[in-house]
Amino acid sequence: MERIRDSKISAVLFDVDGTLADTERDGHRLAFNAAFNDFGLAWHWNAALYGELLKITGGKERIRYYMESYAPDKLKINELENWIANLHSTKTKHFVALLKSGLIPLRPGVARLIQELRVAKIKIAIATTTTPINVITLLKSTLGENSPTWFDVIAAGDIVSKKKPAPDIYLWALERLGLLAHQCVAVEDSECGLRAALAAGLDTIVTVSDYTEKQNFNGASVVLSDLGEPLKPFTVLSGNIHGGKLVDVKMLNNLNI
Ligand code: XBP
Ligand code: MG
């Protein structure tokens, strides 16, 4: 049964990787490989393998999963947790440098929607698994130096111990926003992220990415190619958007009605 929104929405919570920008294949993946090289490891995550590894959210968790599955001998390393944390912080340095080079743009409609939300005085939040510095650098490099201050809450990384698909990061962000789930909408790109948002009680728009387009998005309010631009509307993959062509404030207020 569809839920009916009782009033206009008060906030939009955005996922980051895959949703704000296509950061995974040509961003995070390259940064992981550069860090492996720095550490003298003969590990290489190709695009297909990385797609498989994405089912594990969080970079440190992904490295550990890879070791368990593909390089179990390395699990004997002294102070394994520290070693993984160091490898991961090297990866973060490479990723931040990549973002600063400006090669990773925002996805269609993201900058437009963020500006419309600001004008409409609808709160904006981030709920992501990735490391906080990655989010701040992505925002600065795409929307400008001051843009992180536009966000009422930035919930990222290890701020919660259970990463997506657990709802914890969304629940943390909602608490900081001082809002209830039914007052907000989440935007996600992956099944894992959708499960987290739904478990937090949020209506969720999915904008699919290359790595996620074949995933199961049952429960999403609508599944779209992207957020859409005036001259390049989105494609609707599932759900009812009442003839809209892009995700704007009007569409957000009419979601699920
Ligand atoms: C995606 C993730 C992240 C990134 C890597 O997060 O699972 O782990 O792949 O970032 P989301 P870190 O879609 O929630 O933004 O290495 O910093 O974890
Ligand atoms: Mg994502």
User: In the prediction, which pLDDT does 1 show?
Assistant: 44
Q: What tokens does 162 get?
A: 């259970």
Q: Give 19 Cα–ligand 2 centroid separation in angstroms.
A: 6
**Atom 13 in ligand 1: residue holding the nearest Cα:** 17
**pLDDT tens across 107-125, in order?**
999 999 999 999 999 999 9
User: In the prediction, which pLDDT does 244 show?
Assistant: 85
Q: Of ligand 1's atoms, which has the minimum distance to the CA of residue 134?
A: 17
Q: Is the CB of 194 under 6 A from ligand 1?
A: no
Q: Give 81 Cα–ligand 2 centroid separation in angstroms.
A: 25
Active-site residues: which are they?
15, 17
Q: Is the CB of 17 under 6 A from ligand 1?
A: yes
Helix (H) or strand (E) holding 223: strand 222-224
Q: Give 130 Cα–ligand 1 centroid separation in angstroms.
A: 4
- Closest ligand, as measured to the CA of 135: 1
Q: Is the CB of 212 under 6 A from ligand 1?
A: no
Residue 79, phi-psi category: left (phi > 0), alpha (psi -120 to 50), beta (remainder): left
CA dist 195 to 83, 150, 170, 181, Å?
31, 26, 11, 14
Q: Give 235 Cα–ligand 1 centroid separation in angstroms.
A: 26
Domains in the chain with CATH codes: 11-22+105-254 (3.40.50.1000), 24-100 (1.10.150.240)
Q: Is the CB of 27 under 6 A from ligand 1?
A: no
Angle between helices 29-38 and 80-100 (to 10 degrees): 120
**pLDDT tens across 169-216, in order?**
999 999 999 999 999 999 999 999 999 999 999 999 999 999 999 999
Q: What tokens does 66 get?
A: 């890879």
Residues of the chain with pLDDT below 50 are 1-2
Q: Give 66 Cα–ligand 1 centroid separation in angstroms.
A: 15
Helix (H) or strand (E) holding 90: helix 80-100
Q: Is the CB of 25 under 6 A from ligand 1?
A: no
Strands (E), 46-173: 123-128, 153-156
Q: Is the CB of 57 under 6 A from ligand 1?
A: yes
User: In the prediction, which pLDDT does 3 show?
Assistant: 52
**Atom 10 in ligand 1: residue holding the nearest Cα:** 130
Helices then strands, each counted (H, E), the chain: 9, 7
Q: Is the CB of 248 under 6 A from ligand 1?
A: no
Our mutation pick for probing the ligand 1 site, out of 28, 65, 151, 154, counting the most ligand atoms within 8 A of Cβ, is 28
Q: What tokens does 122 get?
A: 């609808």
